[in-house]
């Protein structure tokens, strides 16, 4: 039997744009909404439907992906003027891709449940791999709503990992980003140490990228350097490491190193 689900997607930023385009390429014909008309104008084709407002999109769609920056932006799109929840139908599934923390996503789940709407906790990792359909999607929530999202996730995910109840995926994403941030700081230090010891940075980069210390942060450092990465990544990582610090666990080495890296990134991005 053909899938008759009507799909929606809101959040056509750096991360969300390739995700929505993967949905279009897979033939899901999603309804799309963005704050700026010039963004929506790119999708005025028979392969997608541009909604006049979040409310119009919510009234039309069965499964909706939300890839917004943070909790405030997500809350505004859902409950603000002409928001998604205005005319939404009971049984609709919302997949929250933003990293907003476990407490925030559980509060959202409780609020939308009052209208008979299901929420799937679904942060993503992998950045630009969305364009190749290779994102990691972490999921938290009941089995049926998660399963209903599967055709959408399949268009942009290379792997989907179910963690448990709503909030567990957010927790896993924060642990992941804290570790990635800490590793990034150690990579900064490794290249600085090599320079102090007189090593050629290109040669050291070859060693670190291909030896037992190989990791993606080394590849990023070699491609754009510490300063450019700090400018690009600090806003998101600063937000996520702060959320990780609110998880209620004793301060440990991981969060100490991640926080130290955030401070170093801020120094680099604001240096004259």
Instruction: List active site positions.
Output: 173
Tell me which H or E stretch contains 32.
strand 31-33
Residue 241 · residue 178 · CB < 8 Å: yes
Please name every residue paired with 7 in a beta bridge, in sequence order, or none if there are none.
63
Q: Tell me whether residue 41 is exposed, middle or buried, using C-beta atoms within 10 angstroms of its C-beta: 0 to 12, 13 to 18, 19 or more.
A: exposed
CA distances 237 to 5, 49, 54, 234, Å, are 35, 33, 28, 5
- Residue 251: what are its φ and ψ, rounded to 5°? -60, 130
Token reading at 168 = 């567990």
Dist. CA 3–CA 9, nearest whole Å: 17
Residue 50 contacts residue 24 (beta carbons within 8 Å)? no
- For 221, the enclosing helix (H) or strand (E) is helix 216-244
Neighbours of 6 (CB within 10 A): 17
Find the helix packing angle between 71-79 and 102-113, rounded to 10°. Answer: 10
């Amino acid at each position: 039997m053909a899938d008759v689900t009507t799909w929606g997607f809101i959040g056509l930023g750096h991360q969300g744009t390739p995700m929505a385009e993967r949905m279009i390429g897979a033939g899901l014909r999603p309804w799309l909404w963005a704050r700026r008309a010039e963004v929506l104008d790119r999708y005025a084709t028979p392969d997608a439907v541009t909604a006049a407002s979040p409310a119009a999109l919510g009234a039309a769609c069965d499964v909706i992906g939300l890839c917004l920056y943070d909790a405030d932006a997500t809350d505004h799109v859902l409950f603000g003027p002409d928001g998604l929840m205005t005319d939404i139908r009971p049984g609709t599934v919302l997949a929250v891709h933003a990293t907003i923390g476990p407490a925030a996503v559980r509060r959202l789940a409780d609020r939308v449940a009052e209208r008979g709407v299901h929420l799937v906790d679904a942060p993503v990792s992998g950045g630009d791999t969305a364009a190749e359909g290779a994102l990691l999607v972490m999921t938290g929530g009941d089995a049926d709503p998660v399963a209903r999202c599967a055709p959408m996730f399949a268009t942009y995910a290379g792997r989907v990992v179910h963690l448990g109840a709503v909030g567990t995926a957010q927790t896993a994403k924060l642990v992941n980003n804290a570790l990635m941030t800490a590793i990034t700081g150690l990579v900064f230090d490794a290249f600085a140490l090599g320079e102090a010891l007189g090593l050629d940075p290109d040669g050291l980069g070859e060693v670190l990228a291909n030896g037992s210390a190989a990791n993606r942060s080394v590849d990023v450092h070699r491609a754009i350097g510490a300063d450019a990465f700090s400018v690009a990544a600090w806003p998101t990582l600063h937000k996520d490491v702060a959320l990780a610090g609110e998880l209620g666990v004793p301060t440990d080495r991981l969060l100490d190193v991640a926080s130290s890296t955030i401070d170093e990134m801020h120094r680099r991005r604001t240096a004259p």
